[in-house]
Amino acid sequence: MSTVKLSIAQSTELCRLLADPSRLRLLLLLEAHALSAAELTEVTGLAQSRVSTHLARLKRAGLVQDQRTGGAALYTLAAVENSAAELWALMRQELDDRQARLDRERADEVVRARKSGQTWAESVAGRMELHYSPGRTWEATAHALIGLLELGDVLDVASGDGVLAELIAERARSVTCMDISAKVLAAARKRLGTVSNVGFCQGDMRAPPFADRRFDQVFLMHALSYAQEPKTVIAKAAALLRPGGSLIIATLGAHKHEAAMQAYDHVNLGVTPEALAKWLKACGLEVELCRVTSREPRPPYFEVVTALARAGV
Ligand SMILES: C[S@@+](CC[C@H](N)C(=O)[O-])C[C@H]1O[C@@H](n2cnc3c(N)ncnc32)[C@H](O)[C@@H]1O
């Protein structure tokens, strides 16, 4: 969270900035596309003078930036942390609007139709992960990579409703979904009911109900955000590994956004790769990977830390 404190006048001004449907439409559009003022005008149907005024105001507030690459200036969201960006990030999390979805589809068309002789791929090169093209989803990529896996007995700690188990079951000897919530586990059972090598167990990651050295792979996917003492959870998970087994972690990087944390019931503000690596080594594991692997493209730019650590043979 920004350490800069605002006066009442500044706070009201900030609220006014975001209390405008046109400015919100522009912000949502610039999340995925770098667009010129003319293109924004075409997509939104607003008058060009209004679009320009809104853009200037959003730029002054540090929410958007422009870049000139020969032709017209292209606007994008600015990658800065300030009070305006934080307020926008909070609001953005709750926004799901039909008009915004239509704007986005229209913007996709406008970008495709740019008269610069570029192919679709060329027009989004460098930002391709932000753009849709038919069937090119992260899920499809995950399925392609999963073919490379050969897993043994897997424990998915804080499994949620079994998304990971569904992806990996075919490539594992067994998968055990463990979650503290009976309701969430019931949803996992419903998802995976007919898959014979998947089991379910209601349990607490602070005291997993399994014998030591019971699993070949233990996953902690987006689980540590729910641990008051991540270090203890990691030690418990490490004890469950057979010799040569792997602990795989994906978790939110350290951040300052308490409101977001409360909205998702997190009990900590993320972890740094340095702290995570230290905890893994303290359990006697060999750390093969522990770093920030992704950064979300929109405010507040949450980061994900991924770790892979192995038990000695
Ligand atoms: C964000 S979800 C992640 C689900 C899944 N791992 C995924 O990546 O899709 C976090 C899960 O942790 C579970 N959880 C929270 N505290 C837990 C605890 N102490 N022990 C086990 N599971 C817990 C919640 O019920 C929830 O299903």
Q: How many domains does the chain have?
A: 2
Claim to verify: residue 62 and residue 202 sit in the same structural domain: no
Residue with the smallest CA separation from ligand 1 atom 27 is 160
- Reduced to 3 states (helix: H, G, I; strand: E, B; else coil), residue 276 is helix
| pLDDT tens, residue by residue, 21-30 | 999 999 999 9
Burial of 310 (0-12, 13-18, 19+ CB in 10 A): middle
Q: What is the CATH number of the domain that holds 149?
A: 3.40.50.150
133 alpha carbon to ligand 1 midpoint, in Å? Answer: 31
Q: Are residues 260 and 158 in the same domain?
A: yes
* Residue 69, domain CATH: 1.10.10.10
Q: At what angle are helices 21-32 and 83-94 packed, to 10 degrees?
A: 90
* Token digits of residue 129: 């992960």
Given 84, 110, 130, the domain boundary residue is 130
pTM, full prediction: 0.74
Among candidate residues 130, 162, 182, the one where a domain is terminated: 130
- 155 in the same domain as 71: no
Tokens representing residue 46 in the block: 């607003």
Mark whether 293 and 192 lie in a shared domain: yes
Which of 130, 157, 190 delimits the end of a domain?
130
Distance, CA 225 to ligand 1 centroid (Å)?
Answer: 9
Which pLDDT band holds residue 69 (cuts at 50, 70, 90)? Answer: low
**Do 184 and 300 fall within a single domain?**
yes
Bridge-based pairing state of the strands 215-221 and 73-77: unpaired
Tokens, residue 50: 């209004």
**pLDDT tops 70 at residue 2:** no
Give residue 221 CA to ligand 1 midpoint distance, Å: 8
Asked if pLDDT for residue 237 goes beyond 60, the answer is yes
Q: Are residues 222 and 299 in the same domain?
A: yes
Q: Evaluate whether residue 3 is within a structural domain.
A: no
pLDDT tens profile 137-191: 999 999 999 999 999 999 999 999 999 999 999 999 999 999 999 999 999 999 9
Q: For residue 246, how far is its CA from the centre of ligand 1 (angstroms)?
A: 19
Same domain, residue pair 77 and 148: no
- Do 120 and 228 fall within a single domain? no
The residues lining ligand 1, judged by C-beta closer than 6 Å to any ligand atom, are 158-160, 163, 179-181, 184, 204-206, 221-223, 226
Determine, yes or no, domain membership for 1. no
Indicate whether 157 and 106 sit together in one domain: no
Residue with tokens 């003078």, as numbered in its chain: 49
Ligand 1 centroid from CA 28, angstroms: 30
The angle, 0 to 180 degrees and rounded to 10, between the axes of the packed helices 21-32 and 8-18 is 70
User: Do 159 and 299 fall within a single domain?
Assistant: yes
194 burial type by CB count under 10 A (0-12 exposed, 13-18 middle, 19+ buried): exposed
23 and 117 inside one domain: yes
| 20 in a structural domain | yes
Nearest CA to ligand 1 atom 13: 158
Residue nearest to atom 1 of ligand 1 (CA): 222
* pLDDT band for position 266 (cuts 50, 70, 90): very high
311 phi-psi bin (left φ>0, alpha ψ -120 to 50, beta other):
beta
In this structure, the residue with its CA closest to atom 17 of ligand 1 is: 180
Same domain for 168 and 280, yes or no, is: yes
Q: What is the pLDDT of residues 127-145, one digit of tens each?
A: 788 777 889 999 999 999 9
Q: Which domain holds residue 285?
A: 138-310
